[in-house]
Chains A and B, each alone.
Chain A
Amino acid sequence: MNVRILKDRTAKGLMLTMTVVAILMVVAIAIGLYLKSRPVLESQSLSSLLFGSQWKPLKGQFGFLPFLMGTVWVTLLAIAFALPISLLTAIFITEYARPMVKRFVFPVLDILAALPSVIYGVWGILVVVPWISKHVAPHFVDFSTGYTVLAAGIVLGIMVLPLLVSLFIEVFSSVPAELREASLSLGATQWQTALRVVVRRSLSGILASSVLAVSRAMGETIAVLMVCGCVVGMPHGLLDACYPIPALIANNYGEMLSIPLYESALMFAALILFVVVLIFNLLSRIVLYRIEKQNE
């Protein structure tokens, strides 16, 4: 056989194998997590695991609702915080800023996105936590350490900000210049054009980027763990401490494994995170597909 064709086939086979391995990894992780969580799943019903709020490992009671709610609160807050800021920033950079500004902003965004999350965590402890404790909390509650849902939301929001901004810039830049010109030539202002044409045309991209940011935010561990307070209990407001799932796993895995079922419970926590992110991505795919079909 011709050597060139042989090389071609080998390369193809190799790449196929790698692709399959990458996909199988995900499946293997899911299966692994499930197998490890089986003991706790057998000891308690699924609904009591998911919706129970009693966390007493020594008594064998594992209710994950406080942790789930912690994750949801912190993630939602982070996105609510980051989304408007990043949208406006990206609109400014793509629609208004001079090329000079763009050349300056891109590297800064890259640096921000590449900063290790522990640095954000330290910054949160040094700046955000004391600020909340001294200036925000006194208006609402008698005392707060500052280690709260709010602190975690802000730190996480700032962490996903550069990611969102650079994704949005990419999305907005892909809108053809002719569309903007069509709108401008009808007497629209730049703001009207940005909002009614650029953002509208980019809806699917905005959604896809937000999903990516939410998935990233849900799984973020270190920075959140450092400022969220890590107190087991249902958060009832922004000034309560919380304990998101990734923080629970990172804090306890390897520490408290002498307690029966504890390891299995932590694996189940990981499985919950895995499934939530998976469902979230699937749902967003469906919405994206709908939007794209509408725009066709």
Chain B
Amino acid sequence: MIEVKKLNVHIGDNHILKDIDLLFPERSITCIIGPSGCGKSTLLRTLNRLIDSTEGVRIDGQVLVDGEDIIDSQSDITELRRRIGLVSQRPCPLPMSIYDNVAYGCRINRMFKKRRELVLHVRQCLRAVGLMDEIKGRMHAPASRLSIGQQQRLCLARSLAVHPDYILADEATSALDPISSKTVEDLFVSLKDKYSIIMVTHTLRQALRIADNVVFMYLGEIIETGPASQVFNNPQNELTQKYLSGAFS
């Protein structure tokens, strides 16, 4: 379980995240919604400490992943990142073949001793995202030759390959055409039995379709959070009501 306590993030003089307290339930999809610039992506990038590479960043508070505070400088960041997969906005296959993209994380984490085991595992991951049949015999072709939608599913397969517990998705379908978008969305739904998925999305409809829980953010603060049905059907906060009704976006 990921628990965020009194999290404050500053970048330079800007106070991006303000006193965030959150609990991400396991084995479900939590959608973070809110207007542009409200800190959704920053929150997501704090959860796997990719925020560290941002210039002038300062983090206070706690992010507990299964009880371990990852903001603490003693924590093993590489192991943390392996456990928290990331699917970014634009698909970005690594500059190597389809097979190597999936095998990359396994090799780095020394997951398999025998090549055969690795091959089987890569195939299994590609099958899990529905790519195996589509790329038959092209496993060793450059990943960049896939269509954008296929590339995004490859990125998901790459994340799944290192056995993460959590998957972070940052507007993972926003760059895709409607059909690919639907495929990826369905994939996330099918994966929630095994993984805890935290998804930033700009599309309310998408959140409505797939979210189990919803977090609504505005100007770096959590305005409302709860089960999706409650937030969408009976929002408690006036800002949430306005946002959902389309008063601002």
Chain B proximity of A296: nearest CB distance (Å): 6
Bitwise, A18-57 to B at CB < 8 A (1) or not (0) is 0000000000000000000000000000000000000000
Chain B residues within an 8 Å CB radius of A192: 108
A residues in contact with B78, CB < 8 Å:
187-189
The answer to whether residues A176 and B159 also contact, given A181-B86, A296-B142 and a CB cut-off of 8 A, is: no
Q: Say yes or no: A99 contacts B94, CB within 8 Å.
A: no
Interface: A200 (CB within 8 A): yes
Q: How big is the B interface, by class?
A: 20 to 34
The answer to whether the Cβ of A186 comes within 8 Å of any Cβ in the partner chain is: yes
Query: Which chain A residue lies CB-closest to B80?
Result: A187
- What is the distance, in angstroms, from A118's C-beta to the closest C-beta of chain B? 40
In the complex, the answer to whether A187 meets B109 with C-beta atoms within 8 Å is yes
Nearest B residue to A200 by beta-carbon distance? Answer: B95
Asked if B173 CB lies within 8 Å of chain A CBs, one says: no
A186, A196, A296: the one contacting B81 at CB < 8 Å is A186
A182 engages B88 (CB within 8 Å): yes
Most B CB contacts (10 A, CB to CB) among A187, A197, A200, A201 go to A187
Contact B50 A182 (CB under 8 A): no
Q: Is B222 an interface residue (CB 8 A)?
A: no
Q: Does A178 contact B (CB under 8 A)?
A: yes
Which residues of chain A come closer than 8 Å to B90, judged between CB atoms? 178
Q: Is A183 an interface residue (CB 8 A)?
A: yes
The answer, among B55, B84, B86, B92, for a CB contact under 8 Å with A176, is B92
Per-residue B-contact encoding for A129-171, CB less than 8 Å = 1, 0 else: 0000000000000000000000000000000000000000000
For B84-109 the 0/1 string (1 means CB < 8 A from A) is 11101010101110000000110011
The answer to whether B88 and A186 have CB atoms under 8 Å apart is no
Distance between Cα atoms of A287 and B158 in the complex (Å): 30
Complex: A180 Cα to B81 Cα, angstroms = 13
Question: Cα distance A200–B155 when bound, in Å?
Answer: 18
Number of A interface residues at 8 Å Cβ cutoff, please give it.
Answer: 23
Chain A residue numbers with a CB within 8 Å of B105 are 186-188
- Bound form: Cα–Cα A188–B161 in Å: 13
Asked whether any CB of chain B lies closer than 8 Å to the CB of A258, the reply is no
**Cβ of B133 < 8 Å from any Cβ of A?**
no
CA distance A181 to B81 in the complex (A): 10
Contact of A178 among B82, B88, B158 (CB under 8 A): B88
Q: Which of chain B's residues have a CB closer than 8 A to the CB of A294?
A: 142
- Point out the residue from A99, A178, A179, A181 that lies within 8 Å of B95, measured CB to CB: A179
A185 beta carbon closer than 8 Å to chain B:
yes
Compute how far the CA of A289 lies from the CA of B115 in the bound complex, rounded to whole angstroms. Answer: 32
A246 to B22, CA, bound (A): 70
Q: Cβ of B240: which chain A residues have Cβ within 8 Å of it?
A: none
Pick from A99, A186, A296: contact of B144, CB below 8 A.
A296
Q: In the complex, A294 Cα to B100 Cα: how many Å? A: 14
A sample of 30 inter-chain contacts (CB < 8 A) reads A176-B92, A178-B90, A180-B53, A181-B50, A182-B86, A182-B88, A182-B94, A182-B155, A185-B81, A185-B84, A185-B85, A186-B82, A186-B85, A186-B105, A186-B108, A186-B159, A187-B79, A187-B81, A187-B82, A187-B105, A187-B109, A187-B162, A188-B104, A188-B108, A189-B78, A196-B94, A197-B95, A200-B95, A296-B144, A296-B145
Residues of B within 8 A of A (CB): 48, 50, 53, 55, 78-79, 81-82, 84-86, 88, 90, 92, 94-96, 104-105, 108-109, 142, 144-145, 155, 158-159, 162
